Amino acid sequence: MIILLFLLMSINSSSRNILSSDDTTPPITTHALNPPTPDGDNGWYVSDVTVTLNATDDMSGVMKIQYRIDEGPIWTIPGDYGTFNIDFDKENISVEYWAVDKACNEEKHNLFTIDIDQTEPYINVHYKIIENEKLVVFNATATDSKSKINRVEFYVSDVIYETVYGPGPYYIWNQSMDLDFSVEGFISNINITDEYVKFFAIRVSACPVNTYYGYHWSYRFYAYDNAGNLKIDYIDIPHYSNQHIPIEKYTWYTFANDYEGHIYKYYIRALFEEEPINVTPGNINFQFNMLNNRLFISSLFLQFLDHFPLLQRLLDIWRWNPL
Instruction: Count CA within 13 A, CB hemisphere, residue 128.
Output: 7
Which carries the bigger pLDDT value, residue 306 or residue 276? 276
Residue 304 near residue 310, CB atoms below 8 Å: no
Q: What is the pLDDT of residue 202?
A: 86
Whole-number Å distance between alpha carbons of 200 and 81: 90
What does pLDDT average to over the chain?
81
Whole-number Å distance between alpha carbons of 186 and 298: 10
The dihedral over CA atoms of 98, 104, 108, 113, expressed in degrees to the nearest 10, equals 10
Residue type, 304: F
- Which domains occur in the chain, in start order? 23-116 (2.60.40.10), 122-317 (2.60.40.10)
DSSP 219-249: EEEEEEETT--EEEEEEEE---TTSPPPEEE
Q: What is the pLDDT of residue 105?
A: 94
Per-residue pLDDT reduced to its tens digit, 85-125: 999 999 999 999 999 999 999 999 999 999 999 999 999 99
Which carries the bigger pLDDT value, residue 15 or residue 273? 273
Q: Which residues pair with 184 in a beta bridge?
A: 205, 269
Among 59, 53, 48, which Cα is nearest to 17's? 59
Tell me: pLDDT of 184 over 80.
yes
Whole-number Å distance between alpha carbons of 264 and 294: 14
